[in-house]
Structure 1
Amino acid sequence: MDIKVLGTGCANCKNTIALIEQVAKAQGVSVTLTKVEELREIMGHGVMSTPGVVVNGQVVHAGGVPSREKVEQWLAA
Structure 2
Amino acid sequence: MEIKIFGPGCPKCKALHKAVTEVVNEMGLNADIKKVEKLDEIMQAGVMLTPGLMVNGKLKVFGKVPGKEDIKRYIEEEK
Kindly report structure 1 stretches of 4+ aligned residues shifted beyond 3 Å: none
Task: Find the aligned partners of 2:12 and 2:56 in 1 and give their Cα distance.
Answer: 21
Task: Find the aligned partners of 1:28 and 1:35 in 2 and give their Cα distance.
Answer: 20
Task: Find the aligned partners of 2:76 and 2:60 in 1 and give their Cα distance.
Answer: 14
User: Considering only aligned residues, what root-mean-square deviation do their CA atoms show, in Å?
Assistant: 0.8
Q: Which runs of 5+ in 2 are unaligned?
A: none
Task: Find the aligned partners of 1:32 and 1:74 in 2 and give their Cα distance.
Answer: 15
Partner of 1:76: 76
Task: Find the aligned partners of 1:75 and 1:6 in 2 and give their Cα distance.
Answer: 16
Partner of 1:35: 35
Amino acid of the structure 1 residue aligned with 2:68: R
Partner of 1:52: 52
Q: Percent identity?
A: 39
Task: Find the aligned partners of 2:68 and 2:6 in 1 and give their Cα distance.
Answer: 18
Task: Find the aligned partners of 2:72 and 2:54 in 1 and give their Cα distance.
Answer: 14
Task: Find the aligned partners of 2:6 and 2:26 in 1 and give their Cα distance.
Answer: 23
| 1:9 aligns to 2:18 (yes or no) | no
TM-score by length of 1: 0.94
Task: Find the aligned partners of 2:2 and 2:40 in 1 and give their Cα distance.
Answer: 20
Q: Which runs of 5+ in 1 are unaligned?
A: none
